[in-house]
Amino acid sequence: MSQTIMEKKTCIAMVPSPGLSHLIPLVEFAKKLVEQHHNIYVTFLIPTLGSTSSSMIQILNNLPPNINFTILPQINTHQLPQNVHFVTKMSLTVKLSLPFLHEALKSLTCTTNLAALVFGMFSVDALEVAKQFNLLSYVFYATGAIFLSFSFSLPKIDDSVFTELTNTVNIPGCVVPYKVKDLPDPIPYERSSKSIVGRTKILSLVDGVIVNSFTDLEGDAIRALQEKRLNGKNALCVYPVGPIIQSKSTNNENQFECIEWLNTQPQKSVLYVSFGSGGTLSQDQINELAFGLELSNQKFLWVMRAPSNSSSSAYLTRQKENPLDYLPIGFLERTKAQGLVIPSWAPQIQVLSHGSIAAFLSHCGWNSTLESVVHGVPIIAWPLFAEQRMNAVTLTQVLKVAIRVKVDEESGIVKRDEIGKVIKRIMEGNEGFEICKRIKNLSDAASDALCENGSSYNVLSDLALKWQNI
């Protein structure tokens, strides 16, 4: 694109948090923005820990003409402290990338009408660079409004509440209390949670927070955040623009096998099993899940990773082992007429939109949650880390579109009998039928929110107009 054309356009710089599950929703937000407002141009400035994955490169190479990207010089793992939480790794990666971000923004200000910097929830250190260039600054929350409401209220919660995992916390705009054990990592294990409190305090310094949610999904939480501002209090300016999900998967790996297999299955007959872009199970838990699927006698499509004792071990690093080597002996042979196991990755959008899918056994990451809602697929909630346990509470107790598995207190894993029972509950009988009806209603509401003059469509238009008037 020529410099003359770019100078006529409003440029928005976007800094995603490290990790594919944070890049994807911000990319999809940018696509929605430039599709709806042709006079806006987006540049991604991407901090990375180690080399970029092939999946990331494929996503970036398929961006529309009004969006381009710069991958900032990579941060090496040896530059970070060892054995720290992956959230800390993400934040430190961004912090170490600030000098590169400064240079990239300096170049953009010379060649474009740069109006604002939008950064991910774990990239809040980018705020100091935005201030140096007098840019409007916005946090993009790839999670929901309930988590945002919790984050904003966290500094006001007494630390003593976190001393017992069974204690409860009331979150503004939430109709149910949340147990401490269901709060996002690492809060249940780090009582003061100083790093998280520090990040949330920054929320009061930005010009707004863009939330990947919509009013029919989290209306109470969104209204609670917005009412504070209407009442003249020091509160966030919240922009609910969701649900923003991928319209299609960009990776073709394994697509032919699993989609062709789904094409041969009866309507609403298959359970899709996936723990997101980074979730992993222990070897014992893989065994129990395999036997539970077998016991259920239900058809399944399982996206499997190699075992790890860390539930988030694949989040920022790639696994090299063949996951199928870790299945129980004889499992694939015994279940070859019942299910299909594929290693590491599946085209999730195509899978969830397929007519043969009846339910989704999910880690309850926000991207997967929104994809289930958009496609009207009931959920078996099996949260692993981050805010996934909080999402599971919302899905089961507030929205009532999911059933949550119970973890055995003695072993700390979900047993095969429990897995088989929960699968049958959602795939058969009245309970699953009622869940189907509720999530179908949410799916219709999601579509309405994004239509012209829908709630999310109008919010995005208001935000774009503000940027164009800079």
> Which token pair is 102?
């400064």
Q: What CATH number matches the domain at 255-446, 3.20.20.70, 3.40.190.10, 3.90.110.10, 3.40.50.2000?
A: 3.40.50.2000
For residue 52, name the pLDDT band (cuts at 50, 70, 90): confident
Task: Say which residue, 188 or 175, is predicted with more confidence.
Answer: 175
Provide the 8-state DSSP code for 228.
H
Nearest to 356 by CA among 379, 377, 334: 377
Tell me the pLDDT tens digit for each residue of 86-140.
778 888 999 999 999 999 999 999 989 999 999 998 898 999 999 999 999 999 9
Pair 296, 420: CB distance under 8 Å: yes
Helices 194-201 and 86-96 meet at what angle, rounded to 10? 50
Rounded-to-integer distance, Cα 19 and Cα 339, Å: 30
Backbone angles phi, psi at 237, to 5 degrees: -95, 110
Q: What is the mean pLDDT of residues 267-293?
A: 95
The domains spanning 3-246+449-468 and 255-446 adopt the same CATH topology: yes
3-state secondary structure of 174: coil
What is the per-residue pLDDT for 24?
Answer: 92
> Which token pair is 282?
């222990």
Residues whose CB falls within 8 Å of the CB of residue 4, separated by 6 or more in sequence, listed in order: none
What is the per-residue pLDDT for 198?
Answer: 62
Q: Residue 8: is its pLDDT beyond 90?
A: no
Q: Residue 255: is its pLDDT beyond 70?
A: no
Rounded-to-integer distance, Cα 420 and Cα 338, Å: 14
Q: Residue 382: is its pLDDT beyond 70?
A: yes
Q: Per the omega criterion (within 30 degrees of 0), is the bond before 186 cis?
A: yes
What is this structure's pTM?
0.90
Rounded-to-integer distance, Cα 346 and Cα 102, Å: 37
* CB burial readout 110-141, b (16+ within 10 A) else e: eebbbbbbbbbbbbbbbbebbeeeebbbbbbb
> Which token pair is 160?
């003593």
The pairing of strands 136-141 and 208-211 is: parallel
Lowest-confidence segment of 249-263, 358-372, 420-434 by average pLDDT: 249-263
Q: What is the mean pLDDT of residues 255-266?
A: 90
Query: Measuring CA to CA, how many Å separate 385 from each of 9, 292, 400?
Result: 40, 22, 21
Q: What is the mean pLDDT of residues 320-329?
A: 91
What is the per-residue pLDDT for 253?
Answer: 47
The pairing of strands 270-274 and 168-169 is: unpaired
Q: What is the mean pLDDT of residues 334-360?
A: 95
For residue 5, name the pLDDT band (cuts at 50, 70, 90): very low
Nearest to 345 by CA among 260, 253, 270: 253
Q: What mean pLDDT, rounded, does the chain reach?
A: 89
What is the per-residue pLDDT for 190?
Answer: 53
Q: What is the mean pLDDT of residues 375-403?
A: 96
Pair 357, 351: CB distance under 8 Å: yes
For residue 84, name the pLDDT band (cuts at 50, 70, 90): confident
For the chain, the domains span 3-246+449-468, 255-446
What is the per-residue pLDDT for 470?
Answer: 77
> Which token pair is 213?
């949610």
- Return the percentage of the chain with pLDDT > 70, whole number: 90
What is the per-residue pLDDT for 372?
Answer: 98
Q: Residue 312: is its pLDDT beyond 60?
A: no
Q: Residue 1: is its pLDDT beyond 80?
A: no
Pair 59, 250: CB distance under 8 Å: yes
Q: Residue 229: is its pLDDT beyond 60?
A: no
27, β-bridge pairs? none
What is the per-residue pLDDT for 319?
Answer: 58
Rounded-to-integer distance, Cα 291 and Cα 295, Å: 6
Tell me the pLDDT tens digit for each residue of 32-46.
999 999 999 999 999
What is the per-residue pLDDT for 247?
Answer: 83
Tell me the pLDDT tens digit for each residue of 125-141.
999 999 999 999 999 99
> Which token pair is 467?
């940027």
For residue 199, name the pLDDT band (cuts at 50, 70, 90): low
3-state secondary structure of 360: strand
Residue 313 sits at the vertex; the CA angle it makes with 310 and 314, to the nearest 5 degrees, is 150
Provide the 8-state DSSP code for 177.
-
CATH 3.40.50.2000 fits 3-246+449-468, yes or no: yes
CB atoms within 10 A of CB 328: 15
Nearest to 25 by CA among 172, 33, 251: 33
Pair 278, 367: CB distance under 8 Å: no
Q: Residue 4: is its pLDDT beyond 50?
A: no
